[in-house]
Homo-oligomer: A and B are copies of this chain.
Amino acid sequence: MTNKHKSSYAISKQLLQRLPLYLNFLKNYADKDGYVSAPMIASAMRLNEVQVRKDLAAVSSTGGKPKTGFATEQLIRDIEKFLGYDNVDEAVIAGAGRLGSALLAYSRFSEYGLKILMGFESDEKLIGTEIAGKQILSIDKLPDVCKRLNIHIGIITVPAESAQEVCDKMIAGGIQAIWNFAPIHLNVPDHVLVQNQDMAASLAILSKHLREKLEKKEEV
């Protein structure tokens, strides 16, 4: 996870449930000077002021200034970061066959600050095993795990016939960007990015270029 809490304030389930409410308030808050204070929020949201102060201290990267309070935009970003809404560094794989395994074990993603956390499988023989130190879980757990860990990138290396089903599970889990190795067109909502990676087509393109080059040479 990319989230690091800034204070020793216990991260309670209650805090995690309040944060989206703060977010909603802040985004609709027409501020005059770009600042917002704990007492203001407490009063507007009918919460205990001490609690709001502690909550904001736990998530704010700046801590806020006495009297002026917190810069609203920065506080919004801090809460989103805390909630993992901006997590674009972690991914999961569905399909732990040869290609999925190769990607799970691929070390170079870390050079870009990226990490594939775990794999998901429908094959009972693979569920519960580890590949390159990464757990392989049942595909049925994918939506829950992704939601819980705020993972937004999914990689599909399952066969074409189960790719759409897996894709739907990913979307149910809050995945917003899919790297698709299955050779089919995925139906996704507008807000989901899909990057297709058809390995066979890639080699076919190279082969086609080579053929064109050889034929051109023949004509000369």
Q: Does A201 contact B (CB under 8 A)?
A: yes
Q: Does A4 contact B (CB under 8 A)?
A: no
CA distance A88 to B218 in the complex (A): 14
Name which residue of chain B comes closest to A80, CB basis: B218
**What DSSP secondary structure best describes chain A's contact surface?**
helix
CA distance A186 to B209 in the complex (A): 18
- By a CB distance below 8 angstroms, the chain B residues around A200 are 106, 108-109, 111-112, 114
Q: Does A16 contact B (CB under 8 A)?
A: no
Number of this chain's copies in the complex? 2
- A155 → chain B closest CB, angstroms: 8
User: Quick check: A102 and B106 within 8 Å, CB to CB?
Assistant: no
Q: Does A35 contact B (CB under 8 A)?
A: no
- By a CB distance below 8 angstroms, the chain B residues around A85 are 214
Q: Does A101 contact B (CB under 8 A)?
A: yes
Q: Which residues of chain A from 36 to 79 have any CB-CB distance to chain B below 8 Å in the complex?
A: 76-77
User: Quick check: B210 and A193 within 8 Å, CB to CB?
Assistant: yes
- By a CB distance below 8 angstroms, the chain B residues around A91 are 203, 207
Task: Show 8 residue pairs from A and B whose CB-CB distance is below 8 angstroms, ordered by the A residue.
Answer: A86-B214, A91-B203, A101-B102, A108-B200, A112-B200, A153-B206, A177-B209, A191-B213
Interface positions of A (Cβ within 8 A of B): 76-77, 80, 85-86, 88-89, 91, 98-99, 101-103, 105-106, 108-109, 111-112, 114, 152-153, 155, 176-177, 179, 183, 191, 193, 195, 197, 199-211, 213-214, 218
